[in-house]
Structure 1
Amino acid sequence: MKALIKSICYYLPVKIVTNEDIVRDFPEWSVEKIVSKVGVNKRHVAANDETAVDLAVKAAECLFEEGKTERNEIDYLLFCTQSPDYILPTSACILQERLGLRKNIGAIDYNLGCSGYVYGLSLAKGLICAGIARNVLLLTAETYNKHLHPKDKGNRTIFGDAATATVISTEGIAEIGNFCLGTDGSGAENLMIKSGGMRCPKRQEDLYFDENGNPCSSDYLYMNGSEIFTFTLDYVPPLVVDTLRCNELCQEDIDKFVFHQANKYMLNFLRKKMKIDPERFYYSLAEYGNTVSNTIPIALRNAIEDKSISTGQRILIAGFGVGYSWGATVLNF
């Protein structure tokens, strides 16, 4: 049995933080520097009382309003977030009720970051090919800005909040190919929030500023940018090679490469290292920022709408980041 993407929608919070807003907080930067280095013009940020579940509900409602799938057709719900409303219960259970889905469905959360969408597609394909489900609703939602210290200039320029909704079914617009997935937990501390879980439940209140003036704290998101960059350069090119091999393709067979939209500098470096022509490499970063697990589905939706992706094309998608975790597959439109 085949598994196909049937439809994709996304939702962005109303509040917008522009580069001009960032520069007002950090006058040592300039709008031009942010654009050239990060490639982001603006990012959407969830309101103080707006959670990942709230965003996911709005993305799903947008999908149902398009009418390609009825909510009573959904028989499995997957929810990817690293910003859950509660430690328990499972946010997917809350989403089932808020979306008015049937009660005789499966519903689970999974905690992944930038590779989360690819992993979600792999889970959905497995459910469909095993005959467990016919229509899987895959929701991704992140509010990373709630994890950032107000003085964290670097991460505040990069990250945006968003949610997406994708239906994976036995029919649709893009058949999902074979997957290559990977994990290396030795890099966990290079992108981490240490407090708040059972290992370190209480806030540590251990904030200090490094030699570059960047805030470091167990209570906020910490990213070792140089280590994350090195990880990306070491693992993503072999991931692409392995994904092509397991789908019995070569690089020339791919019409478009859609990578996790980390930042402009990293994407350009990867593209040049892998010798991918610019016209075959899709960017969808400037108006959203790095929205973690949402970047690939947002890019896919935009590429379909602006005709960068069309019927008969092969698209290689690749996610990579926090964990470390990485994954890729080929979509046949």
Structure 2
Amino acid sequence: MTTNVQNAVSGVVNAHIAAIATHVPEAVLDNATLAALYPEWPAEKIFDKTGIATRHIAGPAETALDLGVAASEKLFTQAAISRDDIDFLIFCTQAPDYVLPTSACVMQDRLKLNNGIGALDINLGCSGFVYGLSLAAGLIAAGLASAVLLVTADTYSKYIHLQDKSVRTLFGDGAAATLIRRNDAGDTGSIGPFEFGTDGGGAHQLIVEGGGFRTPRSAETATETIDKSGNVRSRDHLYMNGGAVLNFTLKRVPEVVARLTGKMNLQLEAFDKVILHQANKFLLDSLQKKLGLGDDAMPRRYADIGNTVSSSIPFVLEDIAEQRRFPPGRHMLVGFGVGLSWAACSVSF
């Protein structure tokens, strides 16, 4: 078989992650501020439980689209690529500017990308980067694109009740712009294969129920309740069943890791880094123990930015890059969360 056919069969795409740039809003929410609101949770307890010291919060008029544009502008400043070279734009967010039009179309204009490109949104959260990477790789493998701009951005803070410590301590707002390019002569990176999973039966475990057409916002959905832990929220706010999400994660992540290593006929030790969605310290500690990984094999980035949802994996990737260049190696990326949804893939540099 030719190399292209072999790669198609194996799920490996001759493309690579060429550059990543990230952006966070200016405002910072620290543990001392949260502790003043939740006297039973001192700042030290918040940090010990979550591993998070600070998180960045979008301003009242600052949207996920704004954060994504800022990250993309950084990428164009740092990376050796012209805006005219981009031939597809994918924007992953769960906080769009409008019901319609597609935010990616607005972003195309804001970034002054040419009119001859495709642009679309994907509504996915914690697994969104891996899913978006699969779409970008698929476009390149099909010969439909050669340079894809994948932008991830979320502003979960806008969904969170100020008196809900169960989620306000975890989530931070942020964005990442990732350039995925077809391999040319001399390029050695690859993307894939991928493994995916979905369990919509668990959708209610991590949800903003009010605001869509199934449950339009109303006086009823805006009615606030207090749970047994003292967290205040309404159906218009973000709700997370932490125990159920933890159990889902500890079951599904090892499964998808095993499926990917099995598909590649490799042991987990063959991967230089295993980069997981950066949910929080407790959850990642549990997964690290369950997967049998050492500290060096599982890099982390949440202490200063919190859980940035779809952008958490590219924040880690940016951290392991040296002078904006990725060191050679094979890494596994694993996203999991809202949906319920999960995905894993291999990337090589």
Deviation at 1:68, TM superposition (A): 1.8
The separation in 2 between residues aligned to 1:228 and 1:305, in whole angstroms, is 34
Give 5+ residue unaligned stretches, structure 2: 5-13
**Aligned partner of residue 319 in structure 2, secondary structure:** helix
Q: Mean alpha-carbon deviation: is it higher for 204-213 or for 223-232? A: 204-213
1:141 positional shift: 0.5
1:315, distance to aligned residue in structure 2 (A): 0.8
Percent identity over paired residues: 46
Match of 2:266 among 246, 249, 252: 249
* Cα distance in 2, alignment partners of residues 67 and 298 from structure 1: 16
1:174 is displaced (CA, Å) by 4.0
Runs of at least 4 residues off by over 4 Å:
306-309
Structure 2 residue aligned with 1:315:
331
Does the 8 Å contact 2:318/2:324 carry over to 1? Answer: no
Q: Within 5 Å, which residues of 2 pair with 1:85-164?
A: 85-164=97-176
Output the amino acid matched with 1:228: V
Aligned to 1:71: 83
Is the 8 Å Cα contact of residues 159 and 291 (structure 1) preserved in structure 2?
yes
1:229-248 equivalent positions in 2, closer than 5 A: 229-248=246-265
Specify the alignment match of 1:190 in structure 2.
205
Matched pairs, number: 332
Alignment pair present for 1:224 and 2:236: no
Unaligned runs of 5+ in 1: none
* Residue identity opposite 2:174 in structure 1: A
Q: TM-score, normalised by structure 1?
A: 0.97
The Cα of 1:305 is off from its aligned counterpart by 3.6
Distance 1:276 1:309, change over 3 A: farther
Q: Deviations over 1:114-139 (max 9, x none)?
A: 00000000000000000000110000
The residue type equivalent to 1:89 in the other structure is P
Shift of 1:216: 3.6
Task: Please give the per-residue CA displacement for 1:262-315, whole angstroms capped at 9, x wherever unaligned.
Answer: 00000000010111112211111101100000000011001114899621x111
Which of 18-27 and 37-46 deviates more? 18-27
Counterpart CA distance in 1 for 2:70 and 2:266 is 37
CA-based RMSD: 1.5
Find the counterpart in structure 2 of residue 170 from structure 1: 182
Deviations 1:155-197 (CA, angstroms, capped at 9, x unpaired): 1110000010001111367421200011010000000011111
Which residue of the partner structure matches residue 263 of structure 1? 280
Which residue among 73, 95, 99 is the counterpart of 1:83? 95
What secondary structure does 2:79 align onto? coil
Q: Which residue of 2 aligns with 1:52?
A: 64
